[in-house]
Amino acid sequence: MERDLAKYWPVFVLPTVTAFAIGFLVPFAMGLYLSFCDFTTLSNATFVGLGNYVRAFEDSGGFTHALWYTALFAGVSTVLINLFGLTVALLLVRGFRGTNLFRTVFFMPNLIGGIVLGWLWQVILNYGVLARYGVTLVTSEWYGFWGLMAVMLWQQAGYMMIIYISGLQSIPGDVSEAAAIDGASAWQALRYVKLPMLMPSITICTFLTLTNGFKLFDQNLALTGGMPSNRSQLLALNIYDTFYGRAGWEGAGQAKAVVFCLIVVTIALVQLRLTRTREVQQ
């Protein structure tokens, strides 16, 4: 077996490696190269060095604003989505009637695509709610911020809930029982028994929500489109607008994308490390 594997492993590895190379490595390498180029279409690129990176941070491009706005959004949404998802999960493992129905209902928003979702909520929030007060989602960047937050909360909390439910269900019954016999209150049981046992779920959920918050694009495009004056623009939309919206700025857009990628990777790695260290062996 071992020897066969040693002999034939390229055959097994090749399909995946090829797919990975075509779908990820090559575009990534090309993207990296293009960030140092001046180009209109990908095939007429000329090398220009670091100029694109300088332009990427010019004030008029709005990159720095998008950066802190996105960081704030990712931070707040991570906290809110996980709090909400965990709360719902805790309620729905109690075994009362209709649990499955509620789980399905909370999960459903995930099945709708981002653009449709963003547009639906744009109509609901603009015409159903804000019109009464004579404002819109684009009155200032904060209306857009909380509108986007509501949409993301609605969409993602259900997904995180499913992960938390499976985490809660895998906590061995004897541990909870022992805690109960020792006289732990509900809060103590949650804080000292369930949460530590849930750390693997928390790791994955915070990872997902944090990276989703940073990468968010569809909902942002459909809900506010970056208005007013690009101030509700998240990073991904800012990059898209730079790349497609401004002739001659394709390289700068590409440079922004590289910076963006580095930021997301760094944050994701740091977060994984932090939460991993808190995981306990069951």
Partner 1 sequence: MKKLLAVLSIALLVVGAVTIFSMAEDTAIPQPSASDAPAQTASPSVAGAGSVYYLNFKPEQSQQWQALAKTYTEQTGVPVTVVTAASGTYEDTLRSEMEKADAPTLFQVNGPVGLKTWRDYCLDLRDTALYRNLKSDDFALLEDGQVLGVAYVIETYGLIYNRTLLDRYMALDGAVIQSADQINNFETLKAVAEDIQARREELGVLGAFTSAGMDASSDWRFKTHLANLPVYYEYKADGITSTEAIKGTYLENYKQIWDLYINNATCEPAVIGAKTGEDAASEFALGEAVFYQNGTWAYADCIAEGLTDDDLGMLPIYIGVDGEEQQGLCTGSENFWCINKNAKPENIEATKAFLEWVITSDEGRDALANQMGFVTPFTTFDAGYTAHNALLDAASEDLAVGHTPVSWTFPTMPSEAWKNGVGAALLEYAQGTKEWSAVETAFVDGWASEYAAAKK
DSSP conformational letter for 271 = H
Out of 99, 110, 140, 271, the only residue in the binding site for partner 1 (CB under 8 A) is 140
User: Which residue type does 276 have?
Assistant: R
Out of 8, 47, 127, 142, the only residue in the binding site for partner 1 (CB under 8 A) is 127
Q: Is 270 in the site for partner 1 (CB under 8 A)?
A: no
Complete DSSP assignment for 60-95: GGTHHHHHHHHHHHHHHHHHHHHHHHHHHHHHHTS-
| CA–CA separation, 104 and 64 (whole Å) | 40
* Minimum gap (Å) between residue 82 Cβ and partner 1: 31
Q: Is 244 in the site for partner 1 (CB under 8 A)?
A: yes
Stretch that binds partner 1, among 25-33, 71-79, 80-88, 181-189 (CB under 8 A): 25-33
Q: Is 225 in the site for partner 1 (CB under 8 A)?
A: yes
Q: Is 17 in the site for partner 1 (CB under 8 A)?
A: yes
- The Cβ-side half-sphere exposure at 266, using a 13 Å CA radius, reads 7
Question: Which C-beta is closer to partner 1: that of 3 or that of 97?
Answer: 3
| CA–CA separation, 82 and 74 (whole Å) | 12
| CA–CA separation, 145 and 100 (whole Å) | 32
Contacting positions for partner 1 (CB under 8 A): 2, 6, 9-10, 13, 17-18, 20-22, 25-26, 29-30, 40-46, 60, 122, 126-127, 130-131, 134-140, 225-230, 244-248
